[in-house]
Amino acid sequence: MNILIKFKDLLFESLKDNKKLIIGLYVFFIVCFIGAWIFSADAITASLSGIQNASSSAPTLNNPLSATDILITNEWGGILTYVGSIFFGIFAIVSLGYNGVNLGMFGQLFSQYVPNGGLRYIVYLIPHGIFEITATVLHSVAGILLFLFIWRFIKAMISKDVHGASEAFNQNKKVLIQSVVIMIFSAVLLVIAAPIEAYFSVPFSEFLVGA
């Protein structure tokens, strides 16, 4: 119990200390999502015009993957984002932008292809997206913090004011701890999101908007 309380305190502190970064990356994701939805319209229209039998090729929101498959895929993507971000945090930004653009283009596809498709897609995303998209943003935050720790550690190591790796580590360990705490929290969010996406999001969208 003490461990959970300690983790909760560290999590709240980490989220508070990095609030601006979290908000900034969330805004970046939303801009990519909306931009891709809007500006991919012509390209998707052109692609759809070449389909001979649209009724048999229509996209579906039904997900053949199990909750376990979804969880493994998402967790693996988060780990890659986290580790890849050691290279100046670039992978964190690229990965987040890619996810935003990809989801936005799917929204445009459904809006053109399926009756009430755009609305159905948004309603479908909401239940699990609250957790999954937040986890995606936090993966990038954790990755950037990991890069900042490495960068500041190296700078401290070569500084004349710091004596040895131990002192350099102690000066910057807070950033590393916050990076790990946020990464763990992201993993928990994905555990919550996976069964919702696999078993609830589609029936929920069909119930509200129609099949």
Q: 12-49, pLDDT tens digit by residue? A: 999 999 999 999 999 999 999 999 999 988 887 777 66
pLDDT of residue 52: 44
CB-CB neighbours of 177 under 10 Å: 15
| Residue 56 reports pLDDT greater than 60 | no
* Alpha-carbon distance values, 55 to 27, 60, 203, 210 (Å): 36, 11, 21, 17
Tokens of 22: 């979290």
pLDDT of residue 57: 57
- pTM of the shown model: 0.90
Mean pLDDT score across all residues of the chain: 90
Residue recorded with tokens 């919702």? 196
pLDDT of residue 162: 74
Span 199-211, average pLDDT: 86
Span 182-209, average pLDDT: 94
Termini Cα distance of the chain: 45
170 band by pLDDT with thresholds 50, 70 and 90: confident
Share of the chain above pLDDT 70, in %: 92
Question: CA 85, CA 157: separation in Å to the nearest integer?
Answer: 21
pLDDT of residue 1: 66
DSSP string, 12-25: HHHHHHTHHHHHHH
- List, in order, residues 6 or more apart from 197 with CB less than 8 Å away: 63, 67, 70, 127, 128, 132
Tokens of 58: 């229509």
100 band by pLDDT with thresholds 50, 70 and 90: very high
Share of the chain above pLDDT 90, in %: 70
Of 181, 179, 175, the C-alpha closest to 153 is 175
Each domain of the chain, given as residue ranges in start order, spans 10-40+65-209
* Contact indicator for 127, 201 with CB cutoff of 8 Å: yes
- For residues 91 and 157, the model is more confident at 91
* Phi-psi label, residue 159: left if phi above 0, alpha if psi -120 to 50, beta otherwise: beta
Question: CA 157, CA 43: separation in Å to the nearest integer?
Answer: 51
| Residue 53 reports pLDDT greater than 70 | no
* Contact indicator for 114, 59 with CB cutoff of 8 Å: yes
Span 108-132, average pLDDT: 92
